């Protein structure tokens, strides 16, 4: 072949690898295996695990210990079970969590504070908060004096249009929903019959453009008017297998767009365990490859089905800044639970929402199965953490407890795209609804169209990004502005489209996103 031929083949192989994305280990020991992960508007990430897991690999600072007589494993516990991870330096700082957050839920509210609810045993009715800070800050978890109306384990949270109140839906043996804060003193929980079935934990919950709530559990879904407490309608059953814990499918609300007035809400649900696998204990049952899309706002909605190239249980689905959906993590066989999965799904899969086509991306060498997470970072990478399919921290066996933290860089971050990747230079720090504003950016080469996309930061756990939302904003054609460019952008029309909160704003040119800036969406 000759040296030139070898060099050409080598370059071609590099191109193929870059076209599939790349993986990087950021930290070889984060101290804990994250079961719940949140990215804050300070670009830090909060990792959270159970407290009743025994010793972690990181101690609380300054000799501090947790003294909890109701703790079932270590009543005196000097180890951290939550840390703050800072991408960049890739450092961790121990955080102090008191009650057990095993299989709990949460959501950021308007001021950027995380409100975290429920858990196991003594944490079952607890409400905790964390007001995030920069990497050198001293923010930490706070146990509030408030409690849930009923204990909730494996529930899901969704921020409501006020930006201050959440609806908390479902949980183990808890077929109901409630609100925090309460709408009136003494308010309790409200029954919802569809939550009484099997395979219904961690239901998929989304705020619809008219302010109602879409709730999916097992194979059923409803539209709930949470103000009146009435189920407005029931949707058709999704074909195939059950999709919620322990069957472990995943879901995403597809981007809401200005082109249709943000009035069309479409949900996509993929994967999950084979029907009956968890009840029969069949850990070798092949997972599902099927995906369904449902326009929840349509007059006569129905599921449009297609298959992924890789079957998957326990995958995570993320709204990416180029408008695609990434499906990552999980396994090929089994169902959720300790030691109930087989054959890790190592390749992420990309889904183009417009063309409905899938693309297989580069695989990782680290299995991410039960109790793993994936979160979008503002630089466009995906932060991947956790994986512990054991009751305690166990570093042997097929899937040992995983303390390493990775980042997946999608193909849009390939070196060849640097020349056309925008860099945001000026932007407003806060927005009102319907506001017309300007973003200034520079770019090496102007190629193709430019649009501005905003993503919130969800609470990710158990294959579901709670509250995840993406908005594609009306963006005028770029105009020259000094050494760079400017675009005129129109904010979303109201709080049912994007509740008040902090959002990542990406400037996207020809499918290549900038690093995002955080902007606070106000009323």
Q: Pick from 396, 413, 430: which residue ends a domain?
A: 413
Are residues 259 and 374 part of one domain? Answer: yes
CA distance 446 to 309: 34
Are residues 492 and 371 part of one domain? Answer: no
For residue 24, what pLDDT is reported?
A: 98
Are residues 133 and 266 part of one domain? Answer: yes
Region 233-251: mean pLDDT is 97
Are residues 302 and 198 part of one domain? Answer: yes
CA distance 37 to 64: 24
Two tokens, residue 213 = 């709530």
Q: How confident is the model at residue 2 (pLDDT cuts 50, 70, 90)?
A: very low
Two tokens, residue 184 = 């009136």
With 90 as the cut, is the pLDDT of residue 244 above it?
Answer: yes
Count of domains for the chain: 2
Q: Pick from 384, 413, 442: which residue ends a domain?
A: 413
With 60 as the cut, is the pLDDT of residue 443 above it?
Answer: yes
Are residues 443 and 339 part of one domain? Answer: no
Two tokens, residue 105 = 């839920």
CATH code where residue 299 lies: 2.130.10.80
CA distance 451 to 315: 29
> Quick check: pTM over 0.85?
yes
CA distance 395 to 389: 11
Per-residue model confidence as pLDDT tens digits over 116-134: 999 999 999 999 999 999 9
Are residues 428 and 399 part of one domain? Answer: no
Are residues 343 and 446 part of one domain? Answer: no
With 70 as the cut, is the pLDDT of residue 15 above it?
Answer: no
CA distance 216 to 520: 29
Per-residue model confidence as pLDDT tens digits over 131-179: 999 999 999 999 999 999 999 999 999 999 999 999 999 999 999 999 9
Q: Pick from 413, 433, 466: which residue ends a domain?
A: 413
With 90 as the cut, is the pLDDT of residue 66 above it?
Answer: yes
For residue 397, what pLDDT is reported?
A: 86
Are residues 464 and 448 part of one domain? Answer: yes
Region 86-113: mean pLDDT is 97
For residue 19, what pLDDT is reported?
A: 81
For residue 7, what pLDDT is reported?
A: 32
Per-residue model confidence as pLDDT tens digits over 341-375: 999 999 999 999 999 999 999 999 999 999 999 99
Residue 518 phi, psi (nearest 5):
-90, 125
Stronger pLDDT, 337 or 13, i.e. the higher one: 337
Q: How confident is the model at residue 5 (pLDDT cuts 50, 70, 90)?
A: very low
Per-residue model confidence as pLDDT tens digits over 462-499: 999 999 999 999 999 999 999 999 999 999 999 999 99
CA distance 266 to 464: 16
Under 8 Å between Cβ of 192 and 281: no
For residue 347, what pLDDT is reported?
A: 98
Per-residue model confidence as pLDDT tens digits over 367-393: 999 999 999 999 999 999 999 999 999
With 60 as the cut, is the pLDDT of residue 461 above it?
Answer: yes
Are residues 429 and 396 part of one domain? Answer: no
Are residues 196 and 96 part of one domain? Answer: yes
CATH code where residue 428 lies: 2.60.40.10
Considering the chain, what is the average pLDDT of its residues? 95
322 φψ region: left (φ > 0), alpha (ψ -120 to 50), beta (else): alpha
- Which of 283, 203, 285 lies closest to 461 in space, CA to CA? 203
For residue 304, what pLDDT is reported?
A: 98
Query: Three-class SS string for 336-389?
Result: CCCCCEEEECCCCEEEECCCCEEEECCCCCCCCCCCEEEEECCCCCEEEEECCC
With 70 as the cut, is the pLDDT of residue 10 above it?
Answer: no
For residue 1, what pLDDT is reported?
A: 39
What's the domain range around 477? 421-521
With 90 as the cut, is the pLDDT of residue 4 above it?
Answer: no
With 80 as the cut, is the pLDDT of residue 508 above it?
Answer: yes
Region 197-218: mean pLDDT is 96
Are residues 311 and 427 part of one domain? Answer: no
Are residues 409 and 438 part of one domain? Answer: no
């Amino acid at each position: 072949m000759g040296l030139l031929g070898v060099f050409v083949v080598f370059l071609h192989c590099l191109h193929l690898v870059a076209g599939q994305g790349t993986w990087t280990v950021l930290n070889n020991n984060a101290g804990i295996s994250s079961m719940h992960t949140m990215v804050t508007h300070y670009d830090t990430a909060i990792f959270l695990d159970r407290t009743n897991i025994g010793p972690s690999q990181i101690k609380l600072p300054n000799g501090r210990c947790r003294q909890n007589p109701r703790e079932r494993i270590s009543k005196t516990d000097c180890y951290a079970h939550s840390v703050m991870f800072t991408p960049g330096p890739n450092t961790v700082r121990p955080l102090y969590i008191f009650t057990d957050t095993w299989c709990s839920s949460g959501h950021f509210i308007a001021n950027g504070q995380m409100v975290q609810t429920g858990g196991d045993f003594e944490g079952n009715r607890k409400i905790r908060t964390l007001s995030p800070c920069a990497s050198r800050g001293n923010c930490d978890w706070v146990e509030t004096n408030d409690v849930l109306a009923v204990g909730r384990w494996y529930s899901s949270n969704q921020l409501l249009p006020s930006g201050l109140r959440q609806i908390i839906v479902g949980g183990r043996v808890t077929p109901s929903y409630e609100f925090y804060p309460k709408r009136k003193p003494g308010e309790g929980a409200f029954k919802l019959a569809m939550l009484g079935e099997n395979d219904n934990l961690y239901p998929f919950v989304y705020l619809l453009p008219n302010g109602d709530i879409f709730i999916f559990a097992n194979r059923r879904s409803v539209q709930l008017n949470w103000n009146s407490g009435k189920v407005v309608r029931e949707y058709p059953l999704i074909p195939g297998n059950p999709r919620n814990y322990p069957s472990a499918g995943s879901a995403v609300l597809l981007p809401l767009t200005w082109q249709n007035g943000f009035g069309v809400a479409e949900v996509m649900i993929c994967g999950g365990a084979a029907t009956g696998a968890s009840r029969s204990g069949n850990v070798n049952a092949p997972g599902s490859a099927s995906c369904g899309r449902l326009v929840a706002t349509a007059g006569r909605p129905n599921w449009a089905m297609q298959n992924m190239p890789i079957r998957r249980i326990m995958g995570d689905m993320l709204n990416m800044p180029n408008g695609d959906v990434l499906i990552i993590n999980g396994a090929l066989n089994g169902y959720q639970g300790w030691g109930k999965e087989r054959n890790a799904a190592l390749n992420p899969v990309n889904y183009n929402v417009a063309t409905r086509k899938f693309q297989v991306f580069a695989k990782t060498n680290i299995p991410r199965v039960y109790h793993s997470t994936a979160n979008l970072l503002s630089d466009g990478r995906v932060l991947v953490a956790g994986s512990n399919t054991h009751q305690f921290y166990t570093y042997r066996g097929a899937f040992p407890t995983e303390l390493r933290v990775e980042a997946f860089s999608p193909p849009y971050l390939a070196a060849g795209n640097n020349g056309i990747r925008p860099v945001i230079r000026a932007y407003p720090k806060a927005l009102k609804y319907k506001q017309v504003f300007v973003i200034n950016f520079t770019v090496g080469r102007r190629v193709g169209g430019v649009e501005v996309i905003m993503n919130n930061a969800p609470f990710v756990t158990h294959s579901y990004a709670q509250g995840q939302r993406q908005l594609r904003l009306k963006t005028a054609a770029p105009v020259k502005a000094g050494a760079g460019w400017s675009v005129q952008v129109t904010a979303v029309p109201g709080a049912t489209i994007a509740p008040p909160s902090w959002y990542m704003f990406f400037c996207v040119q020809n499918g290549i996103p900038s690093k995002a800036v955080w902007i606070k969406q106000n009323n």
